[in-house]
Amino acid sequence: MKYYYTIAFFFSFVLISCRKEKTSWNADWAAPVLNDTLSLNNLVNDSTIQEGTNGFYELDLNRTLFDLGIADFIQIPDTVINHSFVTVVPNLTVPPGFSFVNEIEEHEFDLNGVQLKKIHVSQGVIKIKVSNPLETKALFSIVLPGVTKNGIVFSQNYSVNPGTIANPNTENTTLDLSGYDIDLTGQDGSLYNLLQSQLVINSDPFGPSVTLTNAHVFNVEATFQDIKIDYARGYFGNQILTGTESVNLDFMNSAVGGFLDLPSTSIELEIENGLKVDAKATLFSLSNTNSSGNAVALSSNQIGVPVVLSSATGSWSGLNPTTETIGFNSSNSNIENYLENLGNQHNISYKIELNPWGNTSGGWNEIFPNSRIRVKLRAQLPMTLGADDLTLKDTFDFDVSQDFDKTHVTSGLLTLNATNAFPMEVNPTLFLLDVSGNILHTIIASGAILSSNYGTIDPSDGLRKKESQVKFELNETMVNDLSLVKNIAVQAVFNTPNESGSSVEPVSIPVGAFLAVKLNVKFNLKTVL
């Protein structure tokens, strides 16, 4: 919404820019301190302001308000899998190279109601630690059935040096799981959240015979850590995500009064479901608060009504999201009042519910790398607005010391010469503030920067322009208090009057509109000899 006020802020910037200039105090000192031209040319084609075919600027307010992906719905927690073996007989002597362990176990992931059958790992590691309590070398073979990459099953072999029952010897390694597919359906292929591990242990084929006891514990510990996935299949549960997104437009803090009149306006919220999951989306509230603390909530019969989002179709690169649209216009909402409140803080409260009717897919929910649930703002508007005493105010630091026993300032004059090609006029005022923010003096401009509507057409570029000269006079009383001034506030009141000046008239901003300004300063000095 900020682009409704872009022109107004350009005017305000002109009045504030002089604060950046450093000056020196000389007798009969006079010099230009600002020479600048402000326009919208640098904003055109930035996806917000565009040149319309009718010679006026248009606003393209198409924006993504929030964007949710697989990580917002499914997280794989760090998980430790322990696979241990202990002989069931007190003593067992085995020859060299004897395989005394060969078994498969299943381990369950705790996914808070999500039932996954298959995932693809985009990032993450598995940390493996194996322990050998034998007094001879042991060979470990670790296989994870169902964990594959390019069709090859995950398998690692380790040769672990001798240890003791009291102090087993260990080997540690960290392996990258990126790019692996993981089948979580278990040994019979019909379950979910189950990871299989197979452990094979052999005594050293070149070592001596060895006696196993039930005190020998062979252990493999596998830690799945920092797992990120970009594909998942299963039943994702009846998940409900609620939240409030806040957008702060800090520059709107300068809007302290007046009104902005917008033409008939309509906007749409487009909700896109790129998940192969049925869902519902509900917009609970949309509100904004301006710098004066006045809040306006968007009211409409669309607020609080769930929107059904059918499952996306297709898969992978051929995924086809489904979309639903909520429209707000002057007939079904207070959208114009909402925008005209000049809010600097906007809040949108929402709920998204997956599988509102349960597991209707038979465990075939799917999320792909490009699956998203998005809410987008859709609006293409003419850049037409009317200002009725729209008041912007900004404050900046100021610190000048006067020594009345030496050369010092007795009066001053700021002269602003402006060429305005925008169809808006502005009445500027300066306020000198003390350390507590109290107004010491008010400096009223000699006139307004007049709207281009009161000017003439320049044949060189076809733009209507108006020349204005505005003066700010600092009298002796004001100058004598300069040492008390700690801040200067600039206030600008904007209007778009009709030709008679009796009412506000919405205006369109012509392509190429600009404001050229030259600010000159002159100080009268008194020298004390």
Is residue 88 located within the same domain as residue 14?
Answer: no
Mean pLDDT, range 313-329, rounded to an integer: 92
CB count in 10 Å sphere of residue 330:
14
Strands (E) in 52-193, as ranges, are 57-60, 63-68, 79-86, 91-94, 99-108, 115-132, 138-149, 152-160, 169-176, 181-183
Q: Which residue has the higher pLDDT, 285 or 103?
A: 285
Mapping DSSP to helix (H, G, I), strand (E, B) and coil, where does residue 284 land? strand
Predicted confidence at residue 337, as pLDDT, reads: 84
Is residue 158 located within the same domain as residue 307?
Answer: no
Closest C-alpha among 88, 132, 110 to residue 194: 110
The domain of 353 spans 62-71+236-378
Predicted confidence at residue 441, as pLDDT, reads: 92
Is residue 490 located within the same domain as residue 450?
Answer: yes
19 pLDDT higher than 90:
no
CB count in 10 Å sphere of residue 14:
24
Q: How confident is the model at residue 21 (pLDDT cuts 50, 70, 90)?
A: very low
Is residue 426 located within the same domain as residue 333?
Answer: no
Is residue 182 located within the same domain as residue 298?
Answer: no
Is residue 156 located within the same domain as residue 220?
Answer: yes
Boundary of a domain, candidates 209, 235, 261: 235
Q: Identify the sign of the CA torsion 36, 40, 41, 42.
A: positive
Predicted confidence at residue 1, as pLDDT, reads: 43
371 pLDDT higher than 90:
yes
Query: Domains in the chain: how many in total?
Result: 3
Is residue 370 located within the same domain as residue 390?
Answer: no
Is residue 31 located within the same domain as residue 117?
Answer: no
Q: Which residue has the higher pLDDT, 363 or 336?
A: 363
Q: Which residues contact 94 (CB under 8 A, 6 or more apart)?
A: 100, 203, 209, 210, 211, 212
7 pLDDT higher than 50:
no
Boundary of a domain, candidates 235, 256, 283: 235
Q: How confident is the model at residue 2 (pLDDT cuts 50, 70, 90)?
A: very low
Is residue 206 located within the same domain as residue 273?
Answer: no
Is residue 145 located within the same domain as residue 87?
Answer: yes
416 pLDDT higher than 50:
yes
Q: Which residues contact 368 (CB under 8 A, 6 or more apart)?
A: 230, 231, 274, 276, 315, 316, 319
Tell me, what CATH number does 271's domain have?
Answer: 2.60.120
Task: Express as a percent the part of the chain with pLDDT over 90.
Answer: 38
Q: Mean pLDDT lowest for which of 94-98, 348-352, 375-379?
A: 375-379
pTM: 0.72
Q: Which residue has the higher pLDDT, 251 or 489?
A: 489
385-411 residue pLDDT tens: 777 777 777 777 777 676 667 766 777
Cβ proximity of 134 and 216 under 8 Å:
yes
Predicted confidence at residue 391, as pLDDT, reads: 74
Is residue 251 located within the same domain as residue 312?
Answer: yes
Q: Which residue has the higher pLDDT, 173 or 406?
A: 173
Boundary of a domain, candidates 235, 254, 270: 235
Cα(116)–Cα(331) distance, integer angstroms: 46
Is residue 401 located within the same domain as residue 433?
Answer: yes
323 pLDDT higher than 90:
yes
25-34 residue pLDDT tens: 445 566 665 5
Mean pLDDT, range 47-75, rounded to an integer: 80
